[in-house]
Structure 1
Amino acid sequence: MHKGHCNGLNDVINNELILAAVSERIVYYDKNMKILWANKAASEIAGLPVPGQGGR
């Protein structure tokens, strides 16, 4: 794999780990307001599957 791809992938993984660990609710929507990603705090409060724990 090209070194640039590894660095980019590591950045994505690090960003997701940081966002998942934040105690504030963070939700990422698309332009149609469909939830694309939510951190653990947002998932728990909304009754959504918690990232990294499989779907419901």
Structure 2
Amino acid sequence: MTGFQAKLERVENLAVECELIAKRVDGCNASCISVRASTIVSWQTHVRALIASFNIAA
């Protein structure tokens, strides 16, 4: 399970980086990057639930 958790941490870092980049760029680019960041955050929620279900089943 640590492999999944390590990958999740990497993805969390990517979401933070996307949000930081979105703050530094203008207009349409910021909007596009911000949408990507929110998609990553949504994905993280699903992966956390999946990891939790594995932990409960174990």
Does TM, normalized by the shorter one, top 0.5?
no
The higher relative CO (CA closer than 8 Å, separation ≥ 6) is in 2
| Larger CA Rg, structure 1 vs 2 | 2
**TM-score range normalised by the length of the shorter chain:** 0.3 to 0.5
Q: Greater share of strand residues, 1 or 2?
A: 1
TM-score (norm 2): 0.42
TM-score (norm 1): 0.43
Q: Greater share of helix residues, 1 or 2?
A: 2
